[in-house]
Chains A and B, each alone.
Chain A
Amino acid sequence: DTEVTQTPKHLVMGMTNKKSLKCEQHMGHRAMYWYKQKAKKPPELMFVYSYEKLSINESVPSRFSPECPNSSLLNLHLHALQPEDSALYLCASSDPLAGGDEQYFGPGTRLTVT
């Protein structure tokens, strides 16, 4: 199974809502990532978990809160977002034992903040 799944596919939320994005992989990868992508731009790294520990936080605002409950799951909790946070949120995983190498991406969650 070389698939990364993400739910929901689409999410519309108001600026006062709290919601969560979910990501799952069963490839045994121990590195998982959250990216934010605006239209026709490269993905911007937000967070990296390595062996279930947060290893990189790219100065992301605290209204985004990541969580890695176990080696297969990655969540991104959202609270009090701004309209400029509307974007495609991508989850990815890779095998750090293989030098990281290629990343496997999920299909993304299209987030709209109203």
Chain B
Amino acid sequence: AQSVAQPEDQVNVAEGNPLTVKCTYSVSGNPYLFWYVQYPNRGLQFLLKYITGDNLVKGSYGFEAEFNKSQTSFHLKKPSALVSDSALYFCAVRRPGGSYIPTFGRGTSLIVHP
């Protein structure tokens, strides 16, 4: 079985401040981890993924995520938030070697205030 938890329904941050959106996972073996973003009235867009290698993964739009195996976490980060980053963020996990269908977290709404 595979699952992912996003403990925060909503994250509020001021423009220019660093942001973190949290994600923890549960999967047997080494996970494949993903972050997607969804802007209003749009489909999901892939941001970044961790498969193997460096624990710090860089993605689109200045986002990065840090894989922490001991804490089973994959938090999404950005050094300086923009108002345009306001969107719904989904973490996803899948188990290598199993079905290639990911399991999505419930989503975290990021609101960046001017």
Contact = CB atoms under 8 A, between A and B. Distances in A.
Q: How large is the interface on A (under 10, 10 to 19, 20 to 34, 35 or more residues)?
A: 20 to 34
Interface of A: 4, 6, 31, 33, 40-43, 45, 48, 56, 90, 92, 94, 96, 99-108, 110
A90 B38 CA distance: 12
A71 B101 CA distance: 18
Contacts, number: 57
A102 B49 contact: yes
Interface of A is mostly: strand
Given A105-B43, A105-B44, A107-B42, A42 B107 contact: yes
A40 B110 CA distance: 12
B88 to A, nearest CB: 7
B49 A108 contact: no
Contacts of B88: 40
A100 B101 contact: yes
A45 B92 CA distance: 13
B34 interface: yes
B100 A42 contact: no
Contacts of B41: 107-108, 110
A99 B106 CA distance: 24
A8 to B, nearest CB: 14
Contact of B109 (A40, A45, A99, A101): A40
Given A31-B100, A99-B100, A42 B90 contact: yes
B100 A90 contact: no
Contacts of A105: 36, 43-45
